[in-house]
Amino acid sequence: MKWHIALGIVSMVAVIDVLSGIAITEQDRMESYTDSYQSRQIEFGALLFENNCRSCHGPQGKGIESVGPAINAADLFNGDRLRSFDFTGTVEDYLKGVISAGRPIPSQGSTYPQRMPTWGAENGGPLRTDEIEALVLFTMNWEKVALAGEDGGTISPPSGDFIGTDITISLPPGDVDRGQDLSDGALGCSSCHVFSAVGPVWPSEGLAHAVGTRAVERIEQSDYNGNATSPEQYLIESVVLAELYVVEAFQAGVMPVYYSERITLQDMADLLAYMLSIP
């Protein structure tokens, strides 16, 4: 019995020691847990961004002309943007509010034809509060890079001869790779036509053909009301006269209408070459 008592006392002392050890390190542990949880939220936010936000704000948040503003931008994090409309909260507050509530009417002075959707569940949207927080944390993670000034701001239009709205115009020879770069980057076509299905998807999918082959079929359709007589003309028409003919099951007013005054002849030629090369 004596060793029962002795071992029992040793155990109690061990427990007290361990608990004291925990008491000393608990503050640090809790802080590091918070940090690691926020890091995981950033990962989660990245996934949510890819699935919900990329089609309008671009893959790296650099914005898409006439679709969505840049959020990976210095003016957001240094306060200029918030000051321009007298917002008095922090950047996190602003982001939380905008993502959760959306924008029922477009911001004053902006040229975005689509409104920012409502995402927060408390406002009727599809995302939970913790998902909104994840997106905010993910966006804030751009702060360092944005403030460092690497390509800040929404992509500005190139200068030069714009293509205009004449779809019969003859184009110079196009470069497929440059066309792909334009689509994935500055012009942002891939966000809606390759990486997501906001607009008709360019690559072939299941039984549907790629955009080049579909263009041939499209101009033969009975509901086609445009003026193209060849697939190339049809594709040019889709870009520069977006409102003329909208493919069935897609919404009008989503494809930006400014490309006739934003794309040069060479840009269009490269883009066309890329579109026709997609398998």
Partner 1 sequence: MALFEVHIPILDDIKEKGLIPTLKDTTDDVVERITSGLRIADVRSALRDDPPGRPNPRLKPHSEGFWLHMRPTYYNKLVDGVYPTFRLGWLSTFFFVVEIITGVFLMFYYTPSPLVAYENMLNILSNVPFGRLMRDLHKLGAEIMVAVVLLHMLRTFLTGSYKKPRQFTWITGIVLLGATLVLSFSGYLFPWDQLSLWAVTIGASMAEAAPPEVVGRTLNLIVRGAPEFGANGLLRFYLAHVVGLPLVAIIAFGVHYYKVILHGHSLPPDNEEVGVDTAKKVPMNTRTYFMPKILTRELYYVAILTAILVIWATFAFHAPLEPHADPLVTPLHTTAPWYFLWLQGLLKLGDKVIFGIVIPTIVTGVLFVFPYIEVGPSRRYGHRRIGLTAGVLSVAGFVILSYMGTPWYGVDTSPEQEAIATLLPQTHPGPIRLADWNELDIGTYEATNWEEAPSETLQELLHTFSEEISVAEYGTRTAWEGIMIVEDWQTSLKKITLRVLWIDSATGNPGEFSESEYIHQFSDYGQGE
The interface region with partner 1, picked from 82-90, 141-149, 181-189, 234-242 by CB under 8 A, is 141-149
Tokens coding 221: 């359709």
Distance CA 55, CA 74 (A): 21
Residue 257 binds partner 1, judged by CB under 8 A: no
Residue 105 binds partner 1, judged by CB under 8 A: no
Q: Which is nearer to partner 1, 142 or 234 (CB)?
A: 142
Residue 19 binds partner 1, judged by CB under 8 A: yes
Among 1, 105, 207, 252, binds partner 1 (CB under 8 A): 1
Least distance in angstroms from the C-beta of 219 to partner 1: 28
Residue 9 binds partner 1, judged by CB under 8 A: yes
Distance CA 192, CA 6 (A): 74
Q: Which is nearer to partner 1, 115 or 128 (CB)?
A: 128
Distance CA 224, CA 237 (A): 12
**Phi, psi at residue 264, to the nearest 5°?**
-85, 170
Backbone CA torsion sign across 173, 176, 181, 184? positive
Residue 207 binds partner 1, judged by CB under 8 A: no
Q: Are 142 and 58 in contact (CB under 8 A)?
A: no
Residue 11 binds partner 1, judged by CB under 8 A: yes
Residue 250 binds partner 1, judged by CB under 8 A: no
Give how far Cα 260 sits from Cα of 39, 167, 173, 223, 249, Å. 43, 10, 19, 24, 24
Nearest to 62 by CA among 179, 145, 176: 145
Residues at the site binding partner 1, with contacts judged by CB under 8 A: 1, 4-5, 7-9, 11-12, 14-15, 18-19, 21-23, 26-27, 29-37, 39-40, 42-44, 46-47, 50, 128-131, 138, 141-145
